[in-house]
Chain A
Amino acid sequence: MGGYVVRRLLSVALVVFATSLLIFAIVHILPGNVAYAILGEYATPSAVATLQQRLGLDDPLWLQYWRWLHGVLRGDLGPSLVMDRPAGPLILEALGRSAILASIAFAIVAGGGIALGVHAATHQGRISDRVMTLAQFVFIAVPDFFWAILGVMAFAAGLDWLPATGYAPWGDGALAWASHLVLPVTVLSIGLLAHVSRLSRAAMLEALRSRYVLMARAKGMSERRVLWRHAAPNAMLPTITILAIDFGLLIGGVVVVETVFAYPGLGRLLVFAIEHRDLPLLQAGMLVLTTIYALANLAADIGYAVLNPRIRYGAAA
């Protein structure tokens, strides 16, 4: 197991390195010139040239990449050119707010999705299962931003129960803090919740039809024990894989939701960086985001191994 974790960690490091190359390449393909972006449209060519030289934009790409990588390895994510501040603290602050949003949403998706899936599987064909199936299809098919707009129209503009946009720090009081989170979290989690509950229902049904479940029943085990001790550990395996994939979708969703609700998180920071051609900030933000995604996958792989003895102990002895 220890060896397995070390191997997986090494491969995560490799993936992050490869994505850093990719991010760097993509950012340098984007149109636009940082110097112009900083100095404004009417800058003289000589001022632009001076600034480009100062920022090292004239150097060969590999040297620029090396400089960036070297900085990142020492913990320096580079500057934000537009805001004229180091990118690191900026990203960290935004990341904290995004993490609140994402972790609440993910907890709802994982916990709620599995609970709803198990309920549907054990009540297959009954009213609650059928209603859920219908709702799941609606929430999977209709895109997030539709629910975002609908939510704002109904609960903010119409009923005035919730704020439409923005963020309130904890210091403003728990109620203000929570009220700003309700709509973004709901919109972020609802589609994925439908997805996860759909798939965990299928996984649970398959486990319940298996011969080892028949065996457990023949052993006289109670239905509750059959469900949670015998079926659930096997049904969770495919669900964990799905959760890891959905975590990626969740990160994508964060960018959309933060933009719609003007929530000051990492997603909105990235959109800001793109709009203002703040390439170093964009680079740093994307690197942080992909690293988080790689680590989430690592967590899923380890979780999978913990539940699946075939991976933990290798092949047949």
Chain B
Amino acid sequence: MAEAGRSVEGGSVEGGSVEGLSVEGLSVGFAGVRGRVQALDGVDFAVPPGGTLGLVGESGSGKSTALLALLGLLGRAEVAARRMAFGGADLLTTAPALRGRQISAVFQDPASALNPALTVGLQVAEPLLVHARLPRAEAWAEAAALLAETGLPRPAALMECYPHQLSGGMKQRVAIAMALAGRPELLLLDEPTTALDVTVEAGILDLLDGLRARRGLSLLLVSHNLGIVDRLCDRVTVLYAGRVMETGPVREVLGRPRHPYSRGLLAALPRIGRRDGLAPIPGALPDMTRPDPGCNFRPRCPFAASACALPQALAPAGLDRTVRCHRAGELAHHRWPAPPPTPAAPPAGATLMATEGLARRFATMQAVDQVSLAVRRGEVLGLVGESGCGKTTLGRLMLRLAASDSGTLRFDGAMVPPAPSLAFRRRAQIVFQNPDTALNPRHTVATILRRPLDRFGLAGGNAADEIARLLALVRLPASYAGRYPHQLSGGEKQRVGIARALASRPDFIVCDEAVSALDASVQAAVLNLLAELRARLGLAMLFISHDIAVIAHLADRVAVMYGGQIMEEGPVASVLAPPHHPYTAALLSAVPEVGGRRARHVLPGDAGAVHGGRGCRFALRCPQRIGPLCTDADPPWRDAGPGHRIRCHIPIAPDRRVPR
């Protein structure tokens, strides 16, 4: 592309950006309610021209703050640095002149980053009109070309659209086109795919990779997702509570982490094909109003020693790597402490919950379409699918929290009527995704847990004892009974949500994205808790998630949903190994994994497009479509092994039966 060529040349000739981005000793302080918060404390990182750096860490690590500091958009915060320069220009003083031009940004959640009141065209063309001072017609033509470059269909028509008319993936492509309109040399990406489905995310990552190669862009990627950092970056910097813990080539750092925090992050990560217990990092972020002069990870570190109270320097550790830990060398051969073993789950019993042809329609969308599924006693059934596939609605139909249009529901052998009895409510409970909104902020933990006890008449005279038992069950101190939700961390809130579901001593719970809003180290602890509770209490679960790695970790069986229907169902190990339904294969190939780069299945058609009526729901997006048969006839269920079935027209060849 001519455009791309010009940018590359422009970057190296006029910009003099041979130096790229270099940040040394960046510190940021905010005035907080409890004093000055040291959000960043002497952070160093660099992005060479054409290079890509990943800035990783959990919430509170300061990674987004670093990005806003580069743009000079931190408002009243105190920003100081020994050096913060791009292409030789001091960013502390010239950031306002550089942002939107040499340095552009793409933020998380494109739904809120695009202005709802302005057309896509105006938003993309704006930098061309304002910075490059192009006449309107030229700016419009270039904006349309940028939309085409980001892989958007029909760019001319798109220019007239408003953001609400586009899907999430399209919005993020528009945001990227908008960032490119300033003809940047450095692109800052703040969690650019976090709000997106994996198959959409994979497309965006391919796009960014391509742009980088074509335009010679440098990328600074801020993300909590180690998988996408591994996929996109050359180098990675690990941040913890405002300090750099470790920096180095991405393969090295994520493959053989040296700092205990990086090692903990990787040990907490659920991975497809690994069933051993996850190792959560105990404890919580330190108080950032009083920075620890020594190692600030010390209180949570299993390897902490007395010398860790002394200031730790970023020291070279092998080729091109630095680590802020004086014990990193001697610890290289120590294993990260294994989590306590999860008690073995009792074998699954008789069928507890069974749906037959369950269906629900919302306006023009068939959210749940003739679903027949069964969950046995003590079994965890994982339900995976992308946003809009109907998995949440199915979970609510199974609890009769939403009415079904047709189909039947059996629980413990008896039919469940549309308005179920109190006994059913007691035995079938739910844990919601967002613990921030699922707990009433005006009630104490004790009141929250007491509600179900009173409602189902379970407390007797001893509600306080029962509340203490529930808190112990989810590993929270009994003193938490008097706390309000805002006094709890995200993981603690979710534990209260689980305790509330367990209060009525149910046999079945639906976990709807129960760990999706949590940081990896906390998510690992909650997953371990769920595995343990399930083994100890013999609970059956429907575990709904968009994250196939989480499901692979916890579930016994998994059902894959698309367009309101189940595409494939079977034991986890069997579903994750070939033969696959084409959709399952695409999902698996799109998951960004640390250390594993699979061959990607690129899906045709628009994200989430569902083929209605007769035929296969996935037909419009199927890369293996065999012809009109797929859109004209309902696909048959095919047997793919013991308890494993696939709904597809493609026959399962005998050699495909053998798992590799």
Contacts and interface: CB of A to CB of B under 8 A. Distances in A.
B107 interface: yes
A13 to B, nearest CB: 29
A220 B105 contact: no
Contacts of B116: 212, 234, 308-310
Interface string A207-250: 00011101111111110010001100110000000000000000
Contacts of A217: 71, 73, 99
B117 A234 contact: yes
A29 interface: no
A296 B442 CA distance: 40
B161 interface: yes
B104 interface: yes
A14 B167 CA distance: 38
Interface SS majority for chain A: helix
Contact of B126 (A211, A219, A234, A310): A219
Measured as residues with beta carbon below 8 angstroms from the partner, the interface class of chain B is 20 to 34
B113 A215 contact: yes
A212 B100 contact: no
Given A218-B100, A233-B118, A211 B130 contact: no
B516 interface: no
Interface residues of A, number: 25
Nearest to B126: A219
Interface in B93-131: 96-101, 104-105, 107, 109, 112-119, 126-127, 130-131
A316 interface: yes
A215 B104 contact: no
Contact of A317 (B96, B165, B179): B165
B164 interface: yes
B73 A218 contact: yes
B117 A309 contact: yes
B178 interface: yes
A260 interface: no
A229 B331 CA distance: 56
B65 to A, nearest CB: 13
A66 interface: no
B115 A316 contact: no
Interface string A171-210: 0000000000000000000000000000000000000001
Interface in B347-376: none
Nearest to A230: B115
A218 B118 contact: no
A217 B586 CA distance: 38
Nearest to A222: B130
A215 B189 CA distance: 12
B362 to A, nearest CB: 12
Contacts of B117: 233-234, 307-309
B446 interface: no
B162 interface: yes
A315 B165 CA distance: 7
A118 to B, nearest CB: 16
Contacts of B161: 317
Interface in A277-317: 307-310, 313, 315-317
B294 to A, nearest CB: 35
Nearest to A307: B117
A316 B96 CA distance: 35
B175 interface: yes
Contact of B164 (A214, A225, A233, A316): A316
Nearest to B130: A221
Given A218-B71, A218-B105, A230-B118, A211 B165 contact: no
B115 A234 contact: yes
A218 B162 contact: no
Nearest to B161: A317
Contacts of A316: 164-167
Given A211-B113, A212-B114, A221 B162 contact: no
A219 B127 contact: yes
B570 interface: no
Contact of A218 (B97, B99, B112, B114): B99
A86 B191 CA distance: 71
A221 B112 contact: no
Contacts of A315: 164
A307 B211 CA distance: 35
A59 to B, nearest CB: 50
Contacts of A210: 112
A216 B126 CA distance: 9
A313 B165 contact: yes
Interface centre among A218, A225, A316, A317 (most CB of B within 10 A): A218
A202 B109 CA distance: 24
A214 B108 CA distance: 12
A309 B175 contact: no
A220 B112 contact: no
A212 B126 contact: no
Which interface residue of A210, A219, A225 has the most chain B CB atoms within 10 A? A219
Contacts of B114: 212, 215
A126 to B, nearest CB: 13
Contacts of A313: 162, 164-165
A225 to B, nearest CB: 7
Contacts of B97: 220
A70 B97 CA distance: 69
A211 B107 contact: yes
Contacts of B119: 309
A228 B182 CA distance: 21
14 contacts: A214-B73, A214-B113, A215-B105, A217-B71, A218-B71, A220-B98, A234-B116, A309-B116, A309-B117, A309-B162, A313-B165, A316-B164, A316-B166, A317-B161
Interface of B: 71, 73, 96-101, 104-105, 107, 109, 112-119, 126-127, 130-131, 161-162, 164-167, 175, 178-179, 182
Q: Which 8 A-B pairs have the closest CB atoms?
A: A220-B100, A309-B162, A233-B117, A219-B100, A212-B115, A211-B112, A218-B105, A317-B165
Given A220-B100, A220-B130, 16 more contacts: A212-B114, A212-B115, A212-B116, A216-B115, A219-B99, A220-B97, A220-B99, A222-B130, A225-B130, A230-B118, A234-B115, A234-B117, A307-B117, A313-B162, A313-B165, A317-B165
Interface of A: 210-212, 214-222, 225, 229-230, 233-234, 307-310, 313, 315-317
